Amino acid sequence: MSLVPLCSDLPQFLQGYLPNATKKETSIRPFITLTYAQSLDARISKGPGIRTTISHPETKTMTHYLRYHHDGILIGSGTALIDDPGLNCKWGRDSLANSPRPIILDTKQKWRFGGSKMQELYNKGLGKPPIVVVANDPAIKEHHVEYAICPMDKATKQIDWEKLFEKLKKDFNIQSVMIEGGAKVVNQLLLRNDIINSLIITIGSTFLGRSGTEVSPLQSVNLKGITWWKGTTDVVMCAKLDNE
Ligand SMILES: NC(=O)c1ccc[n+]([C@@H]2O[C@H](COP(=O)([O-])OP(=O)(O)OC[C@H]3O[C@@H](n4cnc5c(N)ncnc54)[C@H](O)[C@@H]3O)[C@@H](O)[C@H]2O)c1
Ligand SMILES: Nc1nc(=O)c(N)c(NC[C@H](O)[C@H](O)[C@H](O)COP(=O)(O)O)[nH]1
């Protein structure tokens, strides 16, 4: 499916929140953008296992413009298994060159590249092959997939985000990552002002109801550098996570 044209005021609106392509990041971690689309009642899907369109076509195009500006695009295995996303970039003339590298957080090793939309795009020369984040050497290694082995923190039984992003930069030369969900990933990273450089949230003019998948961090989060864009049915907020 082709995209509608990018709204002419969006590049200027997003500029201060994108990785700077001309300036190599000096930090040991990549530039990290946290981005997702939510309903007015802070839901990102109608419920577990239900792929839900929230964005208007013009903010869908914006997402592809964001993909164009990042080296990697990270999602949790929940999203990979439920949505079977392509994660390539349809904005611009050359999908393969413009696409970010998909990064799938799959410590339980449940997702397979084989048979996925990502593989279909890769086979057609329209997308890049994924990096799969695992906690230990995977029992099954798939063709064309690279694995980032990232040990779990023993206490939290979660991967250490800092170590993961350092590894992505050092071992895979990923200078910028956009994180596209889902809820478990977003809820953790909304609390990480030490890691997240930009927050870009699309809000669609719909309510998805209480059985919807909610995004809401464990504690309150303050924002700064806030700016809003208004489209036909959606608004987009760009911000930075505050240090307070
Ligand atoms: N509207 C949007 O912008 C948007 C974007 C993405 C996904 N979604 C929706 O979100 C839903 C999926 O969200 P979800 O919360 O179920 O799944 P998720 O995509 O957040 O993936 C969760 C899984 O990722 C892994 N994981 C996450 N954090 C980890 C950590 N720190 N260490 C180790 N492993 C970790 C675990 O395997 C966990 O089960 C789907 O319904 C999807 O359609 C919506
Ligand atoms: N911006 C945005 N608006 C939405 O309404 C929605 N549901 C998502 N959801 C993000 C999720 O990760 C999707 O699975 C991928 O956006 C699909 O990606 P593809 O088009 O297959 O490349 N994102």
Q: How far apart are CA 173 and CA 90, in angstroms?
A: 23
DSSP at 155? T
Per-domain boundaries in the chain:
10-241
What average pLDDT does range 99-106 have in this prediction?
A: 98
Quick: pLDDT tens for 124-145: 999 999 999 999 999 899 999 9
Considering the segment(s) 10-241 as one domain, its CATH architecture is 3-Layer(aba) Sandwich (3.40)
Instruction: Give the model's pLDDT for residue 26.
Output: 75
- What does the pLDDT average to over 18-46? 90
Question: Over the stretch 177-193, which tens digit does the pLDDT of each residue have?
Answer: 999 999 999 999 999 99
Q: How far apart are CA 85 and CA 65, in angstroms?
A: 16
Predicted confidence (pLDDT) at residue 22 exceeds the cutoff of 70: no
Q: What mean pLDDT do residues 34-39 have?
A: 98
Whole-angstrom distance, CA of residue 165 vs CA of residue 208: 32
Q: Which atom of ligand 2 is nearest to the CA of 88?
A: 22
Instruction: pLDDT band for 103, please (50, 70, 90 cuts).
Output: very high
Q: pLDDT-based confidence at 33, cuts 50/70/90?
A: very high
User: How many CA atoms, within 13 angstroms, populate the side-chain half-sphere of residue 184?
Assistant: 11
* pLDDT at position 244: 67
Across the chain, mean pLDDT equals: 96
Pocket residues: Cβ below 6 A from ligand 2: 37, 52-55, 63, 75, 79, 83, 85-87, 117, 180-181, 202
**How many angstroms is it from 154 CA to the middle of ligand 2?**
32
Q: Name the residue at shortest CA distance from atom 23 of ligand 2.
A: 37
| Residues above pLDDT 70, as percent of the chain | 97
Protein residue with its CA nearest to atom 21 in ligand 2:
85
Average pLDDT over residues 215-243: 97
The answer to whether the CB of 25 falls within 8 A of the CB of 66 is no
pLDDT of 20: 85
Considering only residues 86 and 27, tell me which one the structure prediction assigns the higher pLDDT: 86
ipTM attached to this prediction: 0.98
Under DSSP, the state recorded for 16 is G
Q: Please state whether the predicted TM-score (pTM) of the whole model is above 0.90.
A: yes
